[in-house]
Amino acid sequence: MNASAISGQFSGKGRVTVSKQPKRAIGLRRRWFISSILPAITILVLIAAMVSIALGSNYYSSALSALEAKANAGTEYFNTYAMTSYDEYYRSATLYANSFEDSDTIELQFIDRSGQVEVSTRSLMTGSVPGTKDVTDAISSGKVSSFRGTDPATGEKIIAASGLLKFNGRVVGVMRFVTATRNLDSQVLLTVLIILAIMAAVIFVIIISSLLLINNVVAPISAVSEAAKQISGGSYGFQIPNRYADEMGELVDNINDMSMKIGENEKLQSEFISSVSHELRTPLTAINGWGETLLSDDGNDPEALRRGLSIIVKESGRLTNMVEELLDFSKMSDGRFALHLEQVDLQAEFEDAVYTYHEIFKQQGITLEYHSGGVYDETITADAERLKQVFCNVLDNAAKHGGSGKRIEARLNRKGNHYIITIRDYGPGIPDEDLPHVKEKFYKGASKARGSGIGLAVCDEIIRLHNGTMTIGNAKGGGCIVTLRLPITSHRLLHEKEKK
């Protein structure tokens, strides 16, 4: 997959057009080159340089060692066999030079004590003075000495090895092996060129593979980046086509999921604002209308006055409840939602809420039945006000959504180390498609009942903070059932938990 294929056009709903790569993608390529490719190339160049130097040095050292070995063998031969006269030495040197097998690549010289060449495999060098330090070192030390550098006589680069010759215990001269390094230089150069060619091929492969890799990373990032810009610009809900089966594919899936959820939340929030606006407008209209009516009335009708004030009080209470829900939701959103824990008699608090709503429901023609598994005197560690808020909200929802059944059942039981509270209505129940979402904030589903859509979300958060659970479902035989499960935690256990 290349950059041009990936940076093509995404059209239609949920698609985005990537016209060119953003500057950050170009910067990513540059950083990739500096941090990955450049160090690799530098290391390869250093390795090639060290290998070339090592091989060159090895070639020259091997050639010099070979000359030193010849010098050792030659001087040992001449110094071992006794000769009766200098003429015999000279004749032996001439025969040795004429029979020297490597004369095509190595020059053999016999030099006298004054440093002048007496015999040489190359007659042109006879009578010349080499003037290199291997000759003087051999004479002064008596050992085989070597030289590598420029020949003073010819200006060529050479390597040489010289050994001392003796006759009747006296120094008669030096046996010298010398060769030009041009062939060796050519061989070293060829080796270096081969190494450089191999290095260039490796670097080429690294660059090509790295470019393919970075293109396969940068191009999708560019596309995803452009898509993210579309999301941040307000195009919530669209999906990026996912052509990737690696981590990039996982990133695209996460962004698509984020986009979908943002779109859903945006829709829910819009519906919430519309719903809250409507809910606030209704009691405000009633309060305003009855206020104007009472102001214009001369006060001759006490019944109308009492009725108007009753409606104003009722609608003001509804406004207060809605504002409290909104404040609780705001605290949940920014993490300020907290509990004030104390030892609470759960049965007493629940029965108090049931008693309060019993009379209210009775006026609405709804029967509220309460059943208890016994008298429970063991307290729980909880926030009494918050729990009462949950009880009242759930009971109010039961009447609001299931009041058509004219019957609500509230139960309190203990099971193991938990209190179980159930509140059931006998209304139409909750549609199956709405059931998984009823505790989500802003969600109202198909319900036309009045409310902000955040009451159950607040209740679920309160129960969660008490380490309990809140489940909502449809009961057998019809109606909706809400189950609250709260752990029984003694004050001693809570104190130990706080200490930890």
CATH classification of the domain holding 106: 3.30.450.20
pLDDT attached to residue 497: 47
Measuring CA to CA, how many Å separate 46 from each of 27, 32, 441? 27, 21, 63
Pairing of strands 418-425, 380-382: unpaired
Please calculate the CA angle 475-480-483 and round it to the nearest 5 degrees: 85
- Judge if 268 and 409 occupy the same domain: no
434 domain residue, yes or no: yes
pLDDT attached to residue 419: 94
Q: How many angstroms separate the CA atoms of 225 and 48, rounded?
A: 41
Q: How many angstroms separate the CA atoms of 144 and 69, rounded?
A: 9
What the block records as the tokens of 418 is 């938990």
Q: How many angstroms separate the CA atoms of 228 and 251, rounded?
A: 11
In 10 A of CB 109, how many CB atoms?
Answer: 25
- Please provide the DSSP assignment of 426-495 as one string: -SS---TTTGGGTTSTT--TT--SSS-S-HHHHHHHHHHHTT-EEEEEEPTTSSEEEEEEEE---HHHHH
Q: Note the pLDDT tens digit of each residue in 48-71.
A: 889 888 888 888 888 889 888 988
- Judge if 370 and 455 occupy the same domain: yes
Q: How many angstroms separate the CA atoms of 52 and 58, rounded?
A: 10
pLDDT attached to residue 345: 92
Q: How many angstroms separate the CA atoms of 90 and 93, rounded?
A: 5
- Judge if 360 and 475 occupy the same domain: yes
- Judge if 346 and 470 occupy the same domain: yes
Measuring CA to CA, how many Å separate 258 from each of 13, 75, 227, 229, 238? 16, 90, 12, 13, 10
- Judge if 387 and 273 occupy the same domain: no
Instruction: Quote the percentage of the chain above a pLDDT of 70.
Output: 83
- Judge if 314 and 352 occupy the same domain: no
Measuring CA to CA, how many Å separate 158 from each of 132, 180, 444? 10, 4, 98
Q: How many angstroms separate the CA atoms of 350 and 384, rounded?
A: 10
- In 3D space, the residue among 27, 164, 196, 172 whose CA is nearest the CA of residue 87 turns out to be 172
Q: How many angstroms separate the CA atoms of 387 and 324, rounded?
A: 15
Mean pLDDT of successive 10-residue segments in the chain (500 residues)?
38 42 60 79 87 86 89 84 73 86 87 86 81 87 88 85 83 88 86 89 86 75 76 72 74 81 75 67 75 72 77 77 71 71 91 87 89 90 89 88 85 93 91 82 59 74 91 89 86 46
Domain end: 311, 334, 357, which one? 334
Domain end: 168, 202, 231, which one? 231
384 domain residue, yes or no: yes
Q: Sort 135 into a burial class: Cβ within 10 Å, 0-12 / 13-18 / 19+.
A: buried
Whether 343 and 379 have beta carbons less than 8 Å apart is answered as yes
Domain residues for 379?
Answer: 342-499
pLDDT attached to residue 83: 65
- Judge if 349 and 442 occupy the same domain: yes
Whether 225 and 22 have beta carbons less than 8 Å apart is answered as yes
- Judge if 368 and 475 occupy the same domain: yes
Question: What are the φ and ψ backbone dihedral angles of 414, each rounded to 5 degrees?
Answer: -115, 135
- Judge if 488 and 349 occupy the same domain: yes
207 domain residue, yes or no: yes
- Judge if 177 and 193 occupy the same domain: no
- Judge if 257 and 369 occupy the same domain: no
77 domain residue, yes or no: no
37 domain residue, yes or no: yes
- In 3D space, the residue among 248, 252, 318 whose CA is nearest the CA of residue 287 turns out to be 318
pTM, two decimal places: 0.45
Whether 438 and 445 have beta carbons less than 8 Å apart is answered as yes
Kindly report the CATH number assigned to the domain that includes residue 379. 3.30.565.10
Print burial letters for 24-39: b (CB count within 10 Å at least 16), e (below 16): ebeebbeebbeeebee
Q: Note the pLDDT tens digit of each residue in 261-291.
A: 877 777 767 766 776 676 677 677 777 877 7
79 domain residue, yes or no: no
Task: Write the secondary structure of 278-297 as one string of H (helix), E (strand) and C (coil).
Answer: HHHHHHHHHHHHHHHHHHHC
Number of domains within the chain: 4
Domain end: 299, 334, 369, which one? 334
401 domain residue, yes or no: yes
- Judge if 351 and 489 occupy the same domain: yes
Measuring CA to CA, how many Å separate 344 from each of 340, 341, 349? 11, 9, 8
238 domain residue, yes or no: no
pLDDT attached to residue 380: 92
